[in-house]
Amino acid sequence: MNLDRFQREREPAWRELAGLVETAGRRPERLGPDGVRRLGALYRSAAADLALARRRFRGDPVERRLEALVGQARHLVYDAPARRIAPVRFFARDYWRLVAERPVPLLVAAGLLLGPAVLAAIWALGDPGAAGGLVPGEYRSVTEPRPAGADLGLSVEEEAEFASAVFTNNIQVSFLALAGGMALGLVTAFVLLFNGTLLGAVAGLATEAGNGPAFFELVTAHGVLELSCIVVTGAAGLRLGWSIVDPGRLRRLDSLAAEARRTVGIVLGTAPWLVLAGLVEGFLTPAGTGLAAVVAIGLGLGALYWALVVVLGRERAAAGGRADRAGTAPA
């Protein structure tokens, strides 16, 4: 069954279910005995359609539409308020599904951030004079040439201040990239492009000045995880913008509202990882543990985060599909 046929054949049932939900409001007894029985049958059918859409048409607006419809009907069918999200379950499982369910925006966000970073680093290595004009004053201490074997000439407090500036910037970038989705994702794309360019320019200038090892020692331990969070929030911003550009069969406002609920979940789930990056930055940057140690810690944290996305995100998606095929809410 292709998507057009699926929507054409199932559309009358979806519209009927939406009409019953609207009529009932929060009181299924308004439908009468026959209406309640019909509501239950249509709900089970829509849940099965949702399972099929997740399997065959993942990422299409019809999936978001069915998720919203099944969610609205569920509390009427079970005559109970919609379940609140349990914090432990959310942080242990649901958040990872939100991140993993649409890999294309993740790849686009990563490309918008890391692609310009690589190009800017190459540019800074080849033309440090021109690239230096892009770098803010608080970062220039790591781009100044120093005698061979010398450190950056920064005190422990100054090193912590520099790393803190990087950390604070990355938090701001994360939330700007997310909020930029309301402008059709254009602001999100600009934020990712600009900050990728800035990151690459600083890294390239530091390397060209002979300060590469010291620079990466300052930023790698927390930077890999922070960049991962920027990619995730950037992808959420792009998804938010796309829900306005291409709402499918939903009204734009409804499509935006459905995606905004996911966005709130991504914000809540990503925040603790940004806090963890801040703790790593606060304790390791002043400690002078050495380049090898901070690279191992940074790559380890990044690998842990993305392993959880892959493993728990896929497990949660599969569990959601099984539950919806059974006509029940996923645990």
Q: Could you give the CA distance from residue 312 to residue 93 in angstroms, rounded to a whole number?
A: 6
What percent of the chain lies above the pLDDT cut of 90? 34
pLDDT category at 110 given cuts 50, 70, 90 is: very high
Domain boundary, last residue among 51, 83, 115:
83
Q: Could you give the CA distance from residue 96 to residue 99 in angstroms, rounded to a whole number?
A: 5
Q: Could you give the CA distance from residue 139 to residue 132 in angstroms, rounded to a whole number?
A: 10
194 lies in the same domain as 214: yes
Rounded mean pLDDT of 86-111? 90
Least confident of 83-92, 202-211, 269-278, 296-305: 83-92
Mean pLDDT of all residues belonging to the chain: 83
The larger pLDDT score, comparing residue 86 to residue 258, is at: 258
Angle, CA 90 vertex, CA 105 and CA 113 arms, to 5°: 25
61 lies in the same domain as 143: no
Rounded mean pLDDT of 272-294? 80
Please give the residue range of the domain that contains residue 39.
3-83
55 lies in the same domain as 22: yes
116 lies in the same domain as 247: yes
Least confident of 45-49, 147-151, 209-213, 271-275: 147-151
Rounded mean pLDDT of 244-270? 87
Rounded mean pLDDT of 80-107? 81
Q: Which of 138, 110, 116, 127 is nearest to 198 (CA)?
A: 116
The pTM of this model reads 0.70
Domain boundary, last residue among 33, 56, 83:
83
Rounded mean pLDDT of 179-192? 90
Q: Which of 71, 104, 73 is nearest to 85 (CA)?
A: 71
Give the pLDDT of residue 82. 45
Phi and psi for 323 in degrees, rounded to 5? -65, -45
Sign of the CA dihedral with 247 first, then 240, 91, and 313 last: positive
Q: Which two tokens stand for residue 323?
A: 């539950």
Q: Which of 22, 64, 105, 17 is nearest to 249 (CA)?
A: 64
